Amino acid sequence: MIPIANPIIEDEEIQEVVEVLKSGFIAQGPKVAEFEEKFAEYVGTKYAVATSSGTTALHIALLAAGVGEGDEVITTPFSFAATGNAALYVNAKPVFVDIDPDTYNLDPSLIEAAITPKTRAIMPVHLYGQAADMGSIMEIARKHDLTVIEDAAQAHGAMYKDKKAGSLGDMACFSFYPTKNMTTSEGGIITTNNKEFADNCRIIRAHGEKERYKHVVLGYNFRMTDIAAAIGIAQLKKLDKFNKKRIENAEYLTEHIKEIEGIKPPYVSPDVQHVFHQYTIRVENGSRDQWIAFLNENGVGTGIHYPIPIYKQELYQSLGYSDECVESEKAANEVISLPVHPRLNVDDLEKIVQTLEDASRNFL
CATH number for position 183: 3.40.640.10
Q: Is residue 19 part of a domain?
A: yes
The amino acid occupying position 3 is: P
In this structure, the answer to whether residues 215 and 124 fall within a common structural domain is: yes
CATH, residue 352:
3.90.1150.10
Q: Are residues 200 and 311 in the same domain?
A: no
Rounded (5°) CA angle 346-351-355: 155
Please tell me the predicted confidence (pLDDT) of residue 298.
Answer: 98
Overall average pLDDT of the 167-174 stretch: 98
* pLDDT over threshold 80, residue 114: yes
In the predicted model, what is the mean pLDDT of residues 140-167?
98
The last residue of one of the domains, among 234, 262, 283, is 234
Contacts of 322 (CB under 8 A, 6+ apart): 311
Write down the pLDDT at residue 363. Answer: 79
* Neighbouring C-beta atoms of residue 315, cutoff 10 Å: 13
- Residue 245 inside a domain? The answer is yes
Q: Clarify whether residues 273 and 124 are in a common domain.
A: no
| Domain presence at residue 187 | yes
Query: What is d(CA 127, CA 324) in angstroms, rounded to the nearest whole number?
Result: 20
Query: What is residue 319's predicted lDDT score, i.e. its pLDDT?
Result: 98
Residue 352 lies in a domain: yes
Q: How confident is the model at residue 356 (pLDDT cuts 50, 70, 90)?
A: very high
Residues 34 and 183 in one domain: yes
- Residue 231 scores a pLDDT above 80: yes
- Per the structure, the complete domain to which residue 333 belongs is given by 240-363
Is the pLDDT at 6 greater than 90, yes or no? Answer: yes
Domain shared by 122 and 197, yes or no: yes
The answer as to whether 123 is a domain residue is yes
Instruction: Please indicate, yes or no, whether residues 26 and 165 belong to a single structural domain of this protein.
Output: yes
Distances from the Cα of 40 to the Cαs of 118, 197, 278, in angstroms?
Answer: 32, 14, 24
Count of the separate structural domains present in the chain: 2
Beta bridge partners of 214: 211
Whether residue 251 is found in the same domain as residue 322: yes
DSSP code string of 117-132: TTEEEEE-B-GGG---
Interval 107-113 mean pLDDT: 98
Reported in sequence order, the residue ranges of the chain that DSSP labels E, i.e. its strands, are 47-51, 72-75, 93-96, 119-123, 147-151, 159-160, 163-164, 171-175, 188-192, 209-211, 214-215, 263-264, 272-273, 279-283, 335-338
Query: Is 2 inside a domain boundary?
Result: no
Is the entire prediction scored with pTM above 0.85? Answer: yes
Beta-strand pair 335-338/279-283: antiparallel
> How far is residue 284's CA from residue 256's CA, in Å, rounded to a whole number?
19
* Mean pLDDT, residues 41-56: 98
Average pLDDT over residues 69-94: 98
**Are residues 221 and 337 both part of a single domain?**
no
Q: Do 120 and 149 belong to one domain?
A: yes
Query: Within a domain: residue 1?
Result: no
Inform me whether the pLDDT recorded for 63 exceeds 90: yes
Looking at the fold, whether 106 and 182 belong to one and the same domain comes out as yes
Rounded-to-integer distance, Cα 39 and Cα 156, Å: 10
Residue 322 lies in a domain: yes
- Please check the confidence at residue 285 and state whether its pLDDT lies above 80: no
- Give the mean pLDDT of the chain: 97
Residue from 28, 70, 68, 30 nearest 51 by CA: 28
Q: Mean pLDDT across the stretch 195-203?
A: 98
Indicate the pLDDT class of residue 284, thresholds 50, 70 and 90: confident
The pLDDT value recorded for residue 286 is: 73
pLDDT of residue 316: 98
**Residue after which a domain boundary falls, among 219, 234, 249:** 234
From 211, 234, 257, the end of a domain falls on 234
Q: What percent of the chain has pLDDT over 90?
A: 97
Cβ-based burial of 176 (10 A; exposed 0-12, middle 13-18, buried ≥19): buried
Residues 252 and 179 in one domain: no
